[in-house]
Chains A and B, each alone.
Chain A
């Protein structure tokens, strides 16, 4: 009997803990976003965050996208060749890259690179009293640290995904034309004919949401880190893991919203 009660209590604690975290992340996000609407605005910090998230993530996102496009073309070819549907490769590559792989892979790569860095930077500021120091210097830490990063995440990820879409499709094009022997003109015509505005738009909307989630989890975990270097390390890990899971979960939700019939 006790074992059953203990098990139920443990489940209950877990549920309450999860609800508590979900609630505090929601409140944190609402406060952070509300500061985007009220002055003062920190344009310099926004520009710096944009550079950090967007420009410095370009190489890793570009490499991920181009290799993914190449592998996708190769794998599609071996699969589709079994029922003589090789001509659909261009369609599959452009659809997969623009709708799913571009935003999701860019999101995951940026979560690993930028989400961790944000959590580490803000977490270090927390455990060394720098966040308290901001408050004593007439500066709201949410406005100064969180709001510019949230906005930069929302703006930067779609830009990265545009690059990822182009390079991903290019990767597929390179493999298809140079290795698999497809005609250049036919491949390009298939790609352009099949691609619809909605494919790209949905990917960019997803990217904006993912960018927000990455910045949100990086800031939230860093802001609430405790206990010195170990706490900052734990916050960094939690930021990457939680952002990655949220990206995959929201990818499903957004796909359902855009494409479910």
Chain B
């Protein structure tokens, strides 16, 4: 079966700093893959390269078997319009009301008339457990958990067939984190999407992921079923998932 997303030898550096050092990763259709790794390990850069927000220095990024880096810009944009993204801090447009945020993509793609926007937004807000009245508020009037839900509603509104989640539970209390993870799993199942989440929250990784991969020093050092994440013998993964002070990651920090 052709992977939904296939990365080969993806490299990216900023000035002298090498962030991605030849990433190879296959993500199969309909699966939820969590990519774990420490702060600054390159997780967000990896997502931004796939999304086209950053251009890799080398390598290939295939979506449904097509290397998007070799396509003309317009075709790249068409493929990337099928990707939904939940940003770490929500990234809601604070000058727009919640309902406008939620249907922003649909309005931009001319798939919805503005006059119908409020009603459609209410449907998406209901899917993430929010009342229609929330649509008239502005992002600054919402709690962190509500902002994440609105951002999730915005990400699913265009019915993307690939969804990215950047640290979906960061900044939330454990209960709200579990709620958001549950919504993420429900939304992905309902849409039948392929999902990629990056996180360093192990509880979140186990809840969201079917598959898991660990990125360390710009490379994928382990990949396998998410259920095996806590039991792997890979010393880097073992240290990270159990939060041990001693191990290869700490030794690297001491240098």
For residue A47, CB closer than 8 A to chain B, the reply is no
For residue B118, CB closer than 8 A to chain A, the reply is no
Binds A, one of B77-85, B191-199, B234-242: B77-85
Q: Which of B206-246 contact A (CB under 8 A)?
A: none
Please give the distance in Å from B17's CB to the nearest CB on chain A.
15
* Given A132-B48, A132-B53: A137 and B89 interface contact (C-beta under 8 Å): no
* Given A135-B53, A137-B105: A128 and B89 interface contact (C-beta under 8 Å): yes
For residue A138, CB closer than 8 A to chain B, the reply is yes
How many chain A residues touch B (Cβ–Cβ < 8 Å)?
Answer: 15
For residue B133, CB closer than 8 A to chain A, the reply is no
Give the residue of B89, B104, B154, B158 whose beta carbon is less than 8 angstroms from that of A129: B89
For residue B51, CB closer than 8 A to chain A, the reply is yes
CB neighbours of B85 from chain A (8 A): 133, 136
Please give the distance in Å from B107's CB to the nearest CB on chain A.
9
A124 to B94, CA, bound (A): 10
A132 to B80, CA, bound (A): 13
Please give the distance in Å from A141's CB to the nearest CB on chain B.
11
For residue A24, CB closer than 8 A to chain B, the reply is no
* Given A138-B81, A138-B109, A139-B104: A133 and B91 interface contact (C-beta under 8 Å): yes
Residue of B nearest to A140 (CB): B77
Please state if A128 and B91 are interface contacts (CB–CB under 8 Å): yes
Please state if A133 and B93 are interface contacts (CB–CB under 8 Å): yes
Contact with B along A113-140 (1 / 0, CB 8 A): 0000000010011001110111111110
CB neighbours of B84 from chain A (8 A): 136
Please state if B108 and A132 are interface contacts (CB–CB under 8 Å): no
* Given A135-B52, A135-B53: A130 and B93 interface contact (C-beta under 8 Å): yes
The residue among B81, B84, B108 with the most chain A CB atoms within 10 A of its own CB is B108
Please state if A136 and B104 are interface contacts (CB–CB under 8 Å): no
For residue B87, CB closer than 8 A to chain A, the reply is yes
A138 to B88, CA, bound (A): 19
The residue among A124, A128, A129, A139 with the most chain B CB atoms within 10 A of its own CB is A129
A75 to B4, CA, bound (A): 75
Residue of B nearest to A133 (CB): B91
Contact with B along A139-183 (1 / 0, CB 8 A): 100000000000000000000000000000000000000000000
A130 to B94, CA, bound (A): 9
Please give the distance in Å from A139's CB to the nearest CB on chain B.
5
Q: Which of A99-125 contact B (CB under 8 A)?
A: 121, 124-125
Please give the distance in Å from B165's CB to the nearest CB on chain A.
12
A139 to B77, CA, bound (A): 10
Please state if B108 and A139 are interface contacts (CB–CB under 8 Å): yes
* Given A135-B52, A138-B105: A129 and B88 interface contact (C-beta under 8 Å): yes
* Given A128-B89, A130-B93: A136 and B77 interface contact (C-beta under 8 Å): no
Please state if B93 and A136 are interface contacts (CB–CB under 8 Å): no
Please give the distance in Å from B247's CB to the nearest CB on chain A.
31
Please state if B87 and A132 are interface contacts (CB–CB under 8 Å): yes
A248 to B110, CA, bound (A): 43
* Given A137-B104, A138-B81: A132 and B91 interface contact (C-beta under 8 Å): yes
Please give the distance in Å from B121's CB to the nearest CB on chain A.
14
A40 to B107, CA, bound (A): 12
Give the residue of B48, B77, B87, B91 whose beta carbon is less than 8 angstroms from that of A138: B77
A121 to B94, CA, bound (A): 10
Please give the distance in Å from A127's CB to the nearest CB on chain B.
10
CB neighbours of A133 from chain B (8 A): 85, 87, 91-93
Contact with A along B23-62 (1 / 0, CB 8 A): 0000000000000000000000000100111000000000
The residue among B77, B85, B91, B95 with the most chain A CB atoms within 10 A of its own CB is B91
Please state if B91 and A129 are interface contacts (CB–CB under 8 Å): yes
A135 to B77, CA, bound (A): 9
Please give the distance in Å from B83's CB to the nearest CB on chain A.
7
A137 to B102, CA, bound (A): 10
Please give the distance in Å from A64's CB to the nearest CB on chain B.
28
28 inter-chain pairs at a CB distance below 8 angstroms, sorted by A residue, are: A121-B95, A124-B94, A125-B93, A129-B88, A129-B91, A130-B93, A130-B94, A132-B48, A132-B91, A133-B87, A133-B92, A133-B93, A134-B93, A135-B51, A135-B53, A136-B53, A136-B83, A136-B84, A136-B85, A137-B104, A137-B108, A137-B154, A137-B158, A138-B77, A138-B81, A138-B109, A139-B104, A139-B108
6 additional contacts (CB under 8 A) given A40-B110, A125-B93, A132-B48: A124-B94, A132-B87, A136-B84, A136-B85, A137-B158, A138-B105
